[in-house]
Amino acid sequence: MIDLHTHSLMSDGELIPSELVRRAVIAGYRAIAITDHADHSNYDFIIPRVINVCRRLSKSCNIVAIPGVELTHVHPGDIPDIAKESRSLGAKIIVVHGETIVEPVIPGTNRAALHSDIDILAHPGFLSREDAGLAAERGIHIEITARRGHCLTNGHVASVARKSGALLLINSDSHSPGDLVSKEFARKIAAGAGLVDKEIAVAFRNAEILSGIAGKS
């Protein structure tokens, strides 16, 4: 499993990064991105610390640990700048908290994210055809999520992304130990969203490429 959207105690997760990564190793993960919630109040605090711990964990554990961030409930007008600043600080995976139907995300967040230097639009809710097309054009990945609540629109997201040719991947959005998912369970989540075997294989391949471990055993 390659999971590019997880949370530690650096935001609202239950585990410190070392334990999160250790549990991912035991669960059979090949790569994990630590993408804690951030806005202008904390992104410059989180990113350097996550970079440091991911560097250490990648050396000492049998896993690729990737420093990232999830820009969360940031005003759409501020997303491009904070995404650029996060990248300059060294975040390798930049996620934006999309317009999930279970949280009051500001309308226009999806579109602003897709015009920014990001990698993943997470749980984008009722993603529009236009925004899915923009994601496809810009090579930004759209998430099929295992997270309860956020997953309620997975079927819609998969359908719109398919029609637009947008890149899909499957993430846990883990906040606690029990949220980490096996590759087999991720496959079931994707199938439940309406993806067929070939599309699921492509989604897994997309995660390999984005994580930088494509072609590695």
The residue whose two tokens read 């969203």 is 193
Q: Is residue 163 part of a domain?
A: yes
Q: Is residue 198 part of a domain?
A: yes
> Quick check: helix, strand or coil at residue 94?
strand
Residues 6 or more apart whose CB falls under 8 angstroms from that of 196 comprise: none
Q: Is residue 217 part of a domain?
A: no
Arithmetic mean of pLDDT, 111-119? 98
DSSP per residue over 122-170, as a string?
Answer: E--SS--HHHHHHHHHHT-EEEEE-STTGGGGHHHHHHHHHHHT-EEEE
Host domain of residue 31: 2-211
- Give the predicted TM-score (pTM) of the model: 0.97
Dihedral sign (CA 180, 186, 189, 193): positive
- Residue 188 confidence (pLDDT): 98
Q: Is residue 166 part of a domain?
A: yes
> Could you report the per-residue pLDDT of 6-60, keeping only the tens digit for each?
999 999 999 999 999 999 999 999 999 999 999 999 999 999 999 999 999 999 9
> Could you report the per-residue pLDDT of 118-174, keeping only the tens digit for each?
999 999 999 999 999 999 999 999 999 999 999 999 999 999 999 999 999 999 999
Read off the tokens for 182. 């096996």
- Rounded to whole angstroms, the Cα distance separating 194 from 145 reads 13
> Could you report the per-residue pLDDT of 63-94, keeping only the tens digit for each?
999 999 999 999 999 999 999 999 999 999 99
- Residue 215 confidence (pLDDT): 67
Q: Is residue 56 part of a domain?
A: yes
Neighbours of 8 (CB within 10 A): 24
> Quick check: helix, strand or coil at residue 41?
coil
> 190's torsion region: left (phi>0), alpha (psi -120 to 50) or beta?
alpha
Arithmetic mean of pLDDT, 178-198? 98
Burial class (CB in 10 A: 0-12, 13-18, 19+), 79: buried
- Residue 214 confidence (pLDDT): 79
Q: Is residue 200 part of a domain?
A: yes
pLDDT at 198 over 90: yes
Question: How many domains are there within the chain?
Answer: 1
Q: What CATH number has the domain bearing residue 192?
A: 3.20.20.140
- Residue 49 confidence (pLDDT): 97
Q: Is residue 114 part of a domain?
A: yes
- Residue 216 confidence (pLDDT): 67
Burial class (CB in 10 A: 0-12, 13-18, 19+), 62: exposed
